[in-house]
């Protein structure tokens, strides 16, 4: 799977930048599902996240649930502290620029880009999970959308199927298009019961100018539990048409 880069005239390595209509819409689940697919064609598949906010004590170690889940499915073996796949790991689950400021940390954009480039060089394919929605700030000068633009991977938009998602999806598509970036496709992720679910999906299919890559049903508690087990990400992968 090789896609046209977001940088015109350049071919990117295989991979995706996974964004979402919001935080908590299933980006990690779908990132894991995409890694599952990429592993079929590429030996060394890595995950990357420029910053996480929220650490828990898991098996005696402070860890972020996204990093833990993606580490379970990727073939790249990260460092013990995971700083190679996520250079900024903030303790509090809140807007990263605010947590960073409160902790006296500067989220250095060049550190994020350098870390990404290092992992890209060591892997055959890479999936980058965005932070929250498309345009979450890192600080006053840079956002997650800038990062998507600078790394040049095709974008996958995860739509968390709940009331309000049509507006959020269309605004996100508009922001991606305004930057001239390539939207590879979108995924309808059923995060819970939704009135007129199929009609909402049909509306989005009609309005989003990119292919629907799959409809993920609402998963049982066993599968939806975070940090995701490999079986949950493989199950989600089984619904992707890529």
Ligand X SMILES: Nc1ncnc2c1ncn2[C@@H]1O[C@H](COP(=O)(O)OP(=O)(O)OP(=O)(O)O)[C@@H](O)[C@H]1O
* Active-site choice (4, 13, 40, 49): 49
Q: Was 131 annotated as part of a binding site? A: yes
Q: Which residues touch 75 (CB under 8 Å, ≥6 apart)?
A: 39, 43, 44, 45, 46
Residue 67's H or E segment, with its range, is: helix 65-73
Between 47 and 124, name the residue whose CB sits nearer to ligand X.
47
Residue numbers 5-44 binding Mg ion by CB under 5 A: 27-28
Residues that bind ligand DNN (CB under 6 A): 23, 53-54, 93-95, 131-133, 136
Q: Was 172 annotated as part of a binding site? A: no
CA–CA distance, 82 with 86 (Å, rounded to integer): 6
Q: Which residues touch 227 (CB under 8 Å, ≥6 apart)?
A: 58, 63, 65, 66, 68, 69, 72
Residues that bind ligand X (CB under 6 A): 20, 23-29, 66, 132, 189-191, 216, 218-219, 224, 226
Q: Was 40 annotated as part of a binding site? A: no
Q: Was 133 annotated as part of a binding site? A: no
Residue 66 binding Mg ion, by CB under 5 A: yes
Q: Which residues touch 192 (CB under 8 Å, ≥6 apart)?
A: 161, 162, 218
Examine the residue annotation and report whether 49 is marked as an active-site residue of this protein.
yes
CA–CA distance, 165 with 157 (Å, rounded to integer): 12
Q: Which residues bind Mg ion (CB under 5 A)?
A: 27-28, 66
What are the binding residues?
24-29, 66, 129-132, 189-190, 217-219
Catalytic residue ranges = 49
């Amino acid at each position: 799977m090789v896609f046209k880069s977001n940088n015109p005239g350049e071919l990117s390595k295989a991979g995706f930048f996974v964004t979402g209509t919001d935080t908590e819409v299933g980006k990690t689940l779908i990132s894991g599902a995409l890694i599952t697919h990429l592993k079929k064609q590429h030996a060394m598949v890595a995950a990357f996240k420029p910053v996480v906010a929220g650490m828990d004590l898991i098996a005696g170690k402070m860890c972020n649930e996204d990093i833990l889940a993606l580490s379970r499915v990727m073939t790249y073996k990260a460092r013990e502290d995971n700083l190679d796949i996520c250079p900024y790991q903030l303790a509090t689950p809140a807007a990263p620029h605010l947590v960073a400021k409160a902790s006296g940390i500067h989220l250095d954009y060049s550190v994020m880009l350098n870390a990404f480039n290092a992992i890209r060089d060591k892997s055959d394919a890479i999936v980058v999970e965005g932070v929250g929605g498309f345009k979450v700030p890192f600080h006053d000068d840079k956002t997650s959308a800038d990062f998507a633009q600078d790394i040049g991977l095709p974008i996958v938009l995860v739509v968390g199927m709940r009331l309000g998602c049509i507006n959020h999806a269309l605004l996100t598509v508009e922001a991606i298009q305004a930057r001239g970036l390539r939207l590879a496709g979108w995924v309808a992720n059923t995060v819970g019961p939704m009135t007129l679910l199929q009609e909402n999906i049909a509306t989005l299919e009609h309005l989003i100018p990119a292919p629907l890559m799959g409809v993920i049903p609402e998963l049982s508690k066993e599968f939806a539990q975070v940090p995701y087990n490999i079986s949950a990400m493989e199950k989600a992968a089984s619904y992707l048409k890529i």
